[in-house]
């Protein structure tokens, strides 16, 4: 398993990768927050996430809230099935735009 990271690609999209858990999420939050000011719509891809738990779900909810408070549109891409299921069990799928 690889260390969690956030990187921005050449198109301005953000990509989360690695293991998103109770250890890594607090370290990722400052980097993510720095990208969440007002601006163009933002795409956040989770295609490279290897493993995620409820800490990852809390992170996504916080990212949504921060973007919403700035009036910035946010879209998630390639959300792992385990996170989709956790969001469903927690009753927050609609908050994340996961239908």
List CB contacts of 78: < 8 A, sequence separation 6 or more: 45, 46, 47
Tell me whether residue 74 is in a domain.
yes
Tell me whether residue 97 is in a domain.
no
Mean pLDDT per 10-residue run, the chain (99 residues)? 88 94 95 90 95 95 93 93 92 82
What's the pLDDT at 15? Answer: 96
Tell me whether residue 95 is in a domain.
no
Domain CATH number, residue 28: 3.30.750.24
What's the pLDDT at 97? Answer: 81
Cα(20)–Cα(16) distance, integer angstroms: 9
Tell me whether residue 99 is in a domain.
no
CA 26 to each of CA 23, 30, 32, 81: distance values in angstroms, whole numbers, following the listed order: 7, 8, 10, 22
Cα(41)–Cα(44) distance, integer angstroms: 10
């Amino acid at each position: 398993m690889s260390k969690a990271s956030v990187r921005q690609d050449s198109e301005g999209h953000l990509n989360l990768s690695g293991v998103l858990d109770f250890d890594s999420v607090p370290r990722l939050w400052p980097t993510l927050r720095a990208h969440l000011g007002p601006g163009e719509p933002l795409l956040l891809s989770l295609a490279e996430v290897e493993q995620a738990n409820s800490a990852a779900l809390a992170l996504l909810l916080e990212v949504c809230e921060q973007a919403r408070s700035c009036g910035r549109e946010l879209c998630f891409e390639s959300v792992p099935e385990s996170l989709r299921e956790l969001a469903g069990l927690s009753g927050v799928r609609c908050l994340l735009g996961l239908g």
